[in-house]
Structure 1
């Protein structure tokens, strides 16, 4: 039996949509891409990979804040 991880499927969809040329996108197309990316973020956030990414971004943000002082 084949199972498909929804997060992986959404990641593939995002990559395909972002590879398209910018001029070929409509406003609806851009909004749909944002919705898909947000859904992907919600699916990834509770996982260990999502927690690692959040920690990395937190360290990056605090480093940039310190560099700006």
Structure 2
């Protein structure tokens, strides 16, 4: 339960950070955004939602590679 709550919090923070206009951002601001997004990925990965996303992306990648052959 704690993992899901942490994921929700990181998703909200990420959404608020990315919602801003595309004005000039400092490198530190960009690095912080990358760190928040990576942390969100690490927190979501072991949950059923994360596993579902991974499964979907795997099937999508397999479909694309099979289609291009």
Quote the residue 1:43 is aligned against: 43
Structure 1 length as normaliser, TM-score? 0.85
TM-fit CA distance, 1:67: 1.8
Note the residue ranges of structure 1 that are not aligned, 5 or more in a row: none
User: What SS class does the counterpart of residue 46 from structure 2 fall into?
Assistant: coil
The residue aligned with 1:65 is 65
Q: What is the correspondence of 1:7-46 to structure 2 with a 5 Å cutoff?
A: 7-46=7-46
Q: Which has the higher contact order (CA 8 A, sep 6+)?
A: 2
Aligned length: 66
RMSD: 1.5
Q: Using the alignment, how far apart are the partners of 1:33 and 1:49 within structure 2? A: 22
Note the residue ranges of structure 2 that are not aligned, 5 or more in a row: none
Displacement, 1:34? Answer: 0.8
